[in-house]
Structure 1
Amino acid sequence: MQIGSLDGPPDPPEVLSLLEQYGAVRIASFSRDESGIDLQRLATSLDTPSAEDFTVSCTAPLVTRVESLADPKLDTEGLPIKSTSAVEFACHTDEFYLPEPAKIVMLQCVRPDPHGGGDTILSALPNFLPLISGETRKLLSRRAFLTDFGLTQILSRVAGEWEIRYNRDQIERFPVTSEVQLALEELEHSANETRCLLRLEAGDCLVLDNRTLLHGRTEFRPNSPRLFLRARVKSSER
């Protein structure tokens, strides 16, 4: 997949324009500051930062540290939160558990894994949707998937454009039928067929469309100094 590219201090309208065009924008030489202040400033310039991220905060209150902890944080089910561990994190969208997930996810690389692990995985919905059968699309478009806030759907059409919300771990917190299991397998197989790996360098920032792009991460050593920062941006239009 193609990714938009910028260098140095970003111009917010240009970031949004490239994001609409490509679904992902890589900003080289953005910042190595781990306080999160630079990332929060950029998030605020794009729209309304999400205040729903409560894992490991930075100095900037709307930015989260993404790193492997000796004792990973636990979710409400008592399971390890993968973004606080070193295990592979399968492709997903963020804030699946909310009625209105963030529209943008931003990842700033402060320190990459020195051993070559922790690459970012990307898979764009426009690339893998054509590989999914019509029957599976129909099933995943039903508002029939249980969450804590009620029923939702995996695929949806908004203003004529396809969007996705997906996190298999969250979906399977509730019972699903064998038919749904097969549909999820087909979706993941299609996404894996079109995925790409991206290695961010220190100071890079990756801006992602959380409605049309799945993202994940390869595994890395648990004692790695790898440090990313994350911010999420809501839409003020919905």
Structure 2
Amino acid sequence: MFIDIPTALEDALIGLPLPTWKLDGSFLAQSTMERYRSELAATPQLEETATTLRHALTEEGGGYAVLRLGNLAKALSADDDRFLRLATAFAAEVAIPFSPFPRWPLWKDIGVKVDKDPGKSSGIGYNAFHMDLVNGSLPPDYTTLLCVRPDPLGGGPSILSDPHAAVARLSENSRALLAEPAYHYGTFFDLNGVGEECKPFPVLDGSDPGGFVRFTAKMLKRSELSRAHAEAARELAEELVRGQVSFMLQPGDYLIVNQRRLLHGREALHSGQQAVPVADRRLLLQLFLRAGASSGPAA
């Protein structure tokens, strides 16, 4: 779902006096959320746009949306504080913005590092299907990516896939293996708002039909799994690729993904990144969201 911002709303947002945000621990402060919502509520066609956004993220068959904020990005500059406040305000219409990483600001830069592991988010290779913070007992309900600059060489389209549909296409034996707490991936330290470490964890919890499919294809290469459990995970990874959708994010596009509905990833960037100046390389900003008032700082 790609959502264009009505012209009247764009015009009103350009001059909107949103204050600098405040945090309550790792979460956007309630006072900031209330101020942002109050300011947005006074703009034309905001409620219709916000309702469309929420429906795209939560209704049957949905799970993601791309807000086309490109004109606002041009008017305000995509990495300007005023533009980031607007993007944060839109995010707050969906859920509670927060940062699980105390060492990072609310919005985390995801640039391109040619000497990084190619499969990482800031690498130049294929970033396989995954959910963010997969090994936390309370992963973010939403992961979001704001495009400041796409790959100037034309690579790196975003990919999404429905893990529940992919699981339904697997054999009963594979689903049984994925339901066993036999999987693990990554480290877990210096994190806020994502619960306790799950190690090991099941890919399929089974307790909540609308719950997370705790999956990252990266564990196939970076975790020691039994042959049977690895094969079941590999089959799921193949089904995810079979059911994927892909698209290119343009400057100002704001991708919001419901992690209970979809997994995300990225195709490889175009070859030749070493020749692209750092200041011109692909740049995304990442923000996480927690659904529900009960999931704020007290959680």
TM range (shorter): 0.7 to 0.9
Instruction: Report the Cα offset of residue 34 of structure 1.
Output: 1.6
Larger Rg: 2
Counting aligned pairs with the same residue, the percent is 23
- Give distance in 1, aligned partners of 2:55 and 2:259: 15
Instruction: Report the Cα offset of residue 207 of structure 1.
Output: 1.0
Matched, 1:37 2:77: no
Q: Please tell me the root mean square deviation across aligned C-alpha atoms, in Å.
A: 2.6
- Give distance in 1, aligned partners of 2:211 and 2:102: 29
Equivalent in 72, 95, 103 of residue 47 of structure 1: 95
Number of the residue aligned with 2:194? none
Structure 1 counterpart of 2:143, one-letter code: V
Equivalent in 283, 287, 293 of residue 231 of structure 1: 287
Cα distance per residue 1:204-232 (max 9 Å; x no partner): 11111112211111111433621111111
Using CA pairs under 8 Å that are at least 6 residues apart, name the structure with larger relative contact order, 1 or 2. 1
Aligned residues between the structures: 225
Change (3 A) 1:101 1:108: same
**SS of equivalent residue, structure 1 residue 39:** helix
Instruction: Report the Cα offset of residue 70 of structure 1.
Output: 5.0
Cα distance per residue 1:5-39 (max 9 Å; x no partner): 32126644432221012111121135432243333
- Choose between structure 1 and 2: higher helix proportion: 2
- Give distance in 2, aligned partners of 1:158 and 1:27: 33
Matched, 1:206 2:206: no
**SS of equivalent residue, structure 1 residue 62:** coil
CA contact (8 A) 2:210 2:260 kept: no
TM-score by length of 1: 0.82
**SS of equivalent residue, structure 2 residue 236:** helix
Number of the residue aligned with 2:112? 68
CA contact (8 A) 2:119 2:125 kept: no
CA contact (8 A) 1:106 1:207 kept: yes
- Choose between structure 1 and 2: higher strand proportion: 1
Correspondence 1:69-88 to 2 at 5 A:
69=113, 72=116, 82-88=120-126
**SS of equivalent residue, structure 1 residue 188:** helix
- 14-23 vs 38-47, greater mean Cα deviation: 38-47
